[in-house]
Structure 1
Amino acid sequence: MNRTKILRWAAGILVLALVGIAAFWAGRTTLAPADSTVQRPSSDSTVTVEEHELGREITVGTAVKREQTPAATNLLDGVVTQASTSGEFAAGDVLYAVAQRPVVLVTGTMPMWRPLTEGAAGDDVTAFQEMLAADQRGLKVSGTWDAATAQAWKAWLADRGYPEADTVELGQLVMVEESPISLAIDTQSGSVGTQLTGGETVVSMPSSDPAFVIEASSQEQAALIPAGTLVTVPYGEHTWKAIAGEASQADDGPVEIPLTSPDGGAVCADRCADLPAEKSTSLLSQVSVVPPQSGPVVPVSALRAQPDGRTVVTVVEDGVDEEREVTVKTSADGLAVVEGVETGERVRVLNEAP
């Protein structure tokens, strides 16, 4: 090996050594922990305490269930040619018609038990004449079917486009003790085109005290509505307050939570007649899962739990921090209503450093 090659070899070794030393110190610099005396800039901020009402509501489905009592059994045979919809009816209203024979609501205490024709007399004739007299002025209510009654009946039918008839067939009158009254018309047997043979319940009277029941979509939703929870039930121009009862669940059915008024009665109180007459009606209700509370509101991130069980916030005034104990009245959606601070004061929000 000549002198030139020896020098080149020695130079290469030196370069490799220098590269290794440099890499070693670079690694030392990269992996060394940061100087513990260097402080990260604080990301805490302050907010002003404001007065608010805080709470949380959820919307749930509520079923209004009404027991149905038959108002009368259909006694006519033929095809339904006219059908009313469920609702409120007064004496003289047509509920449905079979083969163009109207079935009419009449106010009376005795159910229709016979056809009404010439010579008939009794309370049922009186009730029928009173219905006609309200429309055919001048008809004398005598309690006995006479020529004037027959003529008034023909005029009543003609005014409404029905064929002339000399008698009232058995089944053409539905007697109720008072009217106006809410009645439910069956959507199957009472629909136009249906063939009736007699014996069907076409018209029913709903109960006067409907049951209001929340139908929870899941066990988790039901858990948000313990007994005693305040519920608001809007319907039309009404807004009713209700209290939730104990939840129950039938096999493979929804979780049901009964509702009552605050005094324990029906939710609709004395306005139940305003509800639909159907067996079941679906409404939407608002459930107060966090009862509303008013007072000074701070972010939940401003609260700190202490080992002794106290909850404190840091009040900042003129750049000076003051630790102050507070009582949390309620919280929702990242905010809390507290006692112990005043509106207008500033509290420190403890944000996490990046």
Structure 2
Amino acid sequence: METIDDRTANDGTEQQTASGDEDQGDGRRSRWRSPLLWAGIALAAVVVAAGAFWLAAVTGGDDQASEETAGNTATIRATDLVVTETLDGTLGFGEGDPIVAKASQDAETIGSGLNGTLTATAAEGIIVEQGGVIYEVDRQPVAVLYGDFPAYRPLSTRSEDGPDVAQLEAALVALGFDPDGEIVVDEEFTSATAAAVEAWQEAIGAEVDGVVAQGEIVFTEGPVYVDEVLASVGGSVGPGTPIIATSSSPTGTITSIVDDGAIVDHGDVLYEVEGRPVVLLAGTLPAYRTMRQGTSGDDVAQLEQVLADLGFGGDGLVVDGVFDAATAGAVAAWQSAIGAPPDRVVDLGEAVFSPGSLRIGSVDRAVGDSVQDGVTVMTTSAATTFVAVELSAGDQGLLAVGDAVTVELPDGTQTRAVVTEVGTVARAGQEGGAPYFDVTIVLEDPAAATGLDEAPVEVAVVTDSAEGVLAVPVTALLALAEGGYAVEVVAEDGSTYLVGAEPGLFADGFVEVTGDGLEAGMAVVIP
């Protein structure tokens, strides 16, 4: 029998180079190859006292065999071998986009068309419908009538035909001041029109003369919300003096705001400014302008779709990108539902559009703080946790989208995860560090990471595996002087003999072996 001095055993570790995934055809899955993997075995020493002591405990071999052989024994076992590489990662939500307060610079106002003293105004917070009085100058009432053509001249039987006359006639008919149906809405100011004007003037307490003086009416595209009274009763006004603000962007003092870590869904309020809510709505186009009746475009279509999805699509709302009366009505209904001023206008800054729900990573302003256009109010983050790994450029082939990995959390808990994104462009390392690729890994069970953010984790990646193979401790593998490898098998009578063994995969201190005469359960000598 060969003496121990004629052999060496391998207790080294595996050095591997990159290759693609490949099925070995024998139950083995490999991403790595190393044709010279075992060359170092022939140079290794056989004296592994500490390893021998550990393996004796693992084998549980019978005492008699241990006494009759030159060393301890281990058992050939059928098992699965897995080689892993560990990468450092950070588990967290990841920083998203900031939410910045926006404000329109062109708040809609209604100005005076008369000279004199302002003697009355509509109260703030009310809606003035068609025919209603919005303010008075020298006790002369100024009324709201619907129409998109401005009131720019006096109207009487002496006026030339025009669209403003048609608007006036349509309004008078709608308000019931033509009970006998004598008015023809045809842009001509007739005696029937004058009679209806007189009836309307008497109803609102104006001077009854059948003439609509310039400044006596305000044409609007719909009901007017009195957001703010800009002029003081008793003060002097003239043509163009701002009297009523009909809408305004939410700027001023924050009166409520969500907390750090809050999940905000579509339709939820992000924060309020002096009671005016700023709401998250579904959409990919950012809010960039005030939307009101007469506005059109893709952003309006997006708004209309949101209103329909939220259940405010009654009264003929059509998702067509045109902000018409039906859209204005839906906006007013939505605003009333969320506690916003129902001004039928979506001011810039009143809504934030996002394709999905938002998680608030950090709140940058507090209740009582002032916000103006351009101020960052809060910063979002990803809604679910993920693991970020900086994969060295040299290991680019180590991970691919769809790969299963194991993540070890800071408390030692292990949880399964999957690679969802691998960067294709290398990033420069900080301060001259090696380049790397960004890798995103998502936990299969997000609840496993509850309460963790910016936490260091380890990611175990399977680089090679062999299923259902025979394996022995690495220290049982002998390099023969004449070449090749063997294991020293212990016979039933305690004697030993060598059996040729072809080494395969090395993992966790074990090596895969194949050879005629090797079977699971055999005892082998650990030199």
What range describes the TM-score normalised by the shorter chain of this pair?
0.5 to 0.7
Q: Distance in 2 between matches of 1:42 and 1:321?
A: 7
In structure 2, what is the equivalent of residue 94 of structure 1? 269
Retained in 1: the 8 A contact 2:270–2:279? yes
Inter-CA distance 228–309: structure 2 relative to 1 (3 Å threshold): farther
2:117 is the alignment partner of 1:74: no
Retained in 2: the 8 A contact 1:55–1:291? yes
In structure 1, what is the equivalent of residue 485 of structure 2? 311
Q: Distance in 2 between matches of 1:98 and 1:251?
A: 43
Q: What is the CA-CA distance between 1:303 and the residue it aligns to?
A: 1.6
Name the SS for the 1:251 alignment partner: helix
How many percent of aligned residue pairs carry the same amino acid? Answer: 24
Q: What is the CA-CA distance between 1:140 and the residue it aligns to?
A: 2.2
Q: What is the CA-CA distance between 1:144 and the residue it aligns to?
A: 3.4
Q: Distance in 2 between matches of 1:114 and 1:259?
A: 36
In structure 2, what is the equivalent of residue 22 of structure 1? none
The within-5 A match list for 1:105-120 is 105-106=280-281, 111-117=286-292, 119-120=293-294
| Structure 2 unaligned blocks of 5 or more | 1-66, 104-249, 408-414, 445-452
- Which residue of 79, 88, 92 maps to 1:52? 79
Q: State the AA in 1 paired with 2:341.
A: E
Q: Distance in 2 between matches of 1:186 and 1:78?
A: 23
Q: Distance in 2 between matches of 1:202 and 1:51?
A: 61
Retained in 1: the 8 A contact 2:501–2:514? yes
Q: What is the CA-CA distance between 1:199 and the residue it aligns to?
A: 0.8
Inter-CA distance 338–109: structure 2 relative to 1 (3 Å threshold): closer
Q: Distance in 2 between matches of 1:163 and 1:242?
A: 41
In structure 2, what is the equivalent of residue 12 of structure 1? none
Retained in 2: the 8 A contact 1:186–1:201? no
2:341 is the alignment partner of 1:164: yes
Inter-CA distance 105–241: structure 2 relative to 1 (3 Å threshold): closer
Name the SS for the 2:486 alignment partner: strand
Retained in 2: the 8 A contact 1:78–1:196? yes
In structure 2, what is the equivalent of residue 275 of structure 1? none
Name the SS for the 2:501 alignment partner: strand
RMSD after superposition: 4.8
2:304 is the alignment partner of 1:138: no
Q: Distance in 1 between matches of 2:427 and 2:284?
A: 41
Q: Which whole-Å deviations, capped at 9, do the CAs of 1:60-105 have from their partners, x for residues lacking one? A: 4424897856687633423442237576744x44344333322234
| Structure 1 unaligned blocks of 5 or more | 1-39, 217-221, 261-265, 272-279
Inter-CA distance 215–48: structure 2 relative to 1 (3 Å threshold): same
Q: Distance in 1 between matches of 2:80 and 2:284?
A: 55
Retained in 2: the 8 A contact 1:109–1:175? yes
Inter-CA distance 330–105: structure 2 relative to 1 (3 Å threshold): same
Q: What is the CA-CA distance between 1:314 and the residue it aligns to?
A: 1.0
Q: Which whole-Å deviations, capped at 9, do the CAs of 1:227-271 have from their partners, x for residues lacking one? A: 543574469985338889999742287x775366xxxxx767xx9
Q: What is the CA-CA distance between 1:165 and the residue it aligns to?
A: 3.5
Retained in 1: the 8 A contact 2:486–2:499? yes
In structure 1, what is the equivalent of residue 437 of structure 2? 258
Inter-CA distance 336–195: structure 2 relative to 1 (3 Å threshold): farther
The within-5 A match list for 1:145-294 is 145-146=324-325, 152-160=330-338, 162-166=339-343, 167-175=345-353, 179=355, 181=356, 183=358, 185=360, 187-189=362-364, 194-201=369-376, 213-214=388-389, 226-229=395-398, 232-233=404-405, 239-240=418-419, 249-251=429-431, 257-258=436-437, 284=457, 286-288=459-461, 291-294=464-467
Name the SS for the 1:159 alignment partner: helix
Q: What is the CA-CA distance between 1:302 and the residue it aligns to?
A: 1.5
Inter-CA distance 239–109: structure 2 relative to 1 (3 Å threshold): closer
Inter-CA distance 238–250: structure 2 relative to 1 (3 Å threshold): closer
Higher deviation after alignment, 123-132 or 335-344: 123-132
Q: What is the CA-CA distance between 1:312 and the residue it aligns to?
A: 1.7
Inter-CA distance 284–256: structure 2 relative to 1 (3 Å threshold): farther
In structure 2, what is the equivalent of residue 26 of structure 1? none
Retained in 1: the 8 A contact 2:102–2:373? yes
Q: Distance in 2 between matches of 1:107 and 1:47?
A: 64
Q: Which whole-Å deviations, capped at 9, do the CAs of 1:125-149 have from their partners, x for residues lacking one? A: 4543443333225232253353x65
Q: Distance in 2 between matches of 1:141 and 1:233?
A: 50
Q: Distance in 2 between matches of 1:125 and 1:172?
A: 14
Q: What is the CA-CA distance between 1:171 and the residue it aligns to?
A: 1.4
Q: Which whole-Å deviations, capped at 9, do the CAs of 1:286-305 have from their partners, x for residues lacking one? A: 32376332311112231222
In structure 2, what is the equivalent of residue 349 of structure 1? 525
Inter-CA distance 241–94: structure 2 relative to 1 (3 Å threshold): closer
Retained in 1: the 8 A contact 2:76–2:524? no
TM-score by length of 1: 0.58
Retained in 1: the 8 A contact 2:404–2:417? no
The within-5 A match list for 1:315-354 is 315-319=489-493, 320-340=495-515, 342-351=518-527
Retained in 1: the 8 A contact 2:489–2:525? no
Inter-CA distance 78–306: structure 2 relative to 1 (3 Å threshold): farther
Q: What is the CA-CA distance between 1:186 and the residue it aligns to?
A: 5.7
TM-score by length of 2: 0.42
